[in-house]
Amino acid sequence: MKKIAIVFGVIILLLIASVAGFYGVYVAPFLAKMKHIETVQYDKQLTLVIGGGGNSGILVSDSLVLVIDTKMDDAALQLSKTVKDLAGKKPIIVVNTHVHSDHTGGNKYFAGQTIIAGGNYDKAFWTKDAGADAPPTIWLKDSMVLNVGDETVTILNLPYAAHTQSDIVVYLHNRKMLFGGDVILNKQSPALFARYKADANGYLNAFDLVEKRFDISKVVPGHGPVGGIEVIDNYRTFFKDIEAAVADPAKEKAILQKYNDYGQIPFLMSPGATLRYIRNSAVK
């Protein structure tokens, strides 16, 4: 009996050690990298705040300030200070591209302002996931157009699930710039989870939709550096390649190898995890 207890204890210790090792080797460096924040004055009215959670944009006019995504942790506080300095007494409109806490973590600093999010979330689900502080005040079902100074902004709730059940993209017409939220990442594996109804076909449909609907020359991805239209095209190729590997396992090794340099957390958010998610979705 005592022997069994010792063996059991050793197994538990090994499990704890491997979880701690996994966290130390993969998760902690990923999170540390995610915390890094860079503020770019794109032009007189537009500031991009890259990293610190999801990438953000701040568009300032004489009458209002538009903020796209509110980040997480320290970066969220830092972003809110930057926004409040720029806004003074002007009203602030916040857009959350989706529910995830690395894009909504700073909502609490914008209580009392307008907060727009996708209309396909169940409100209780949102509160449970993103917290009850400063929930959205507008649940956008389709799209809306805002005039921010001389910029025309289209805020579009995707008509189907992609990264989550209700993803928003934001397009600045004069700047030909698209904020893709986590539907468009630059060289980073997607986080696909059934809890959020993630759907690879939704991503592919979204790439086609935004390219057809908008004339895009700059892309601000949810994570990773700002780029041109190639950011979308590369991500389409990523999904198509992974789908090809699902259809033909002989291709799997080479295709996963091709995306080895993509930002990832093994097993959770990686090319391999994407492949397994798409394969399991196809089985259902």
Q: Site residues (CB under 5 A) for Zn ion?
A: 100, 182
Nearer to Zn ion, 65 or 231 (CB): 231
Q: At closest approach, how far in Å is the CB of 231 from Zn ion?
A: 16
Q: At closest approach, how far in Å is the CB of 163 from Zn ion?
A: 6
Q: At closest approach, how far in Å is the CB of 222 from Zn ion?
A: 6
Q: At closest approach, how far in Å is the CB of 254 from Zn ion?
A: 28
- 102 vs 48, 58, 130, 227, 246, CA distance in Å? 16, 17, 9, 21, 30
Nearer to Zn ion, 60 or 183 (CB): 183
Nearer to Zn ion, 100 or 175 (CB): 100
Instruction: Give the phi and the psi of residue 76 in degrees, each rounded to 5.
Output: -65, -40
180 neighbors 165 (Cβ within 8 angstroms): no
Nearer to Zn ion, 182 or 241 (CB): 182
259 neighbors 237 (Cβ within 8 angstroms): no
Nearer to Zn ion, 64 or 210 (CB): 210
Nearer to Zn ion, 182 or 243 (CB): 182
What end-to-end distance do the CA atoms of the chain give, in Å? 44
What is the Cα–Cα distance from 58 to 49, expressed in whole angstroms?
8
Nearer to Zn ion, 148 or 273 (CB): 273
Please give the order of strands across the beta sheet that includes 143-148: 143-148, 151-157, 168-172, 177-179, 218-220
Q: How many CB atoms lie within 10 A of CB 62?
A: 8
Q: At closest approach, how far in Å is the CB of 133 from Zn ion?
A: 18
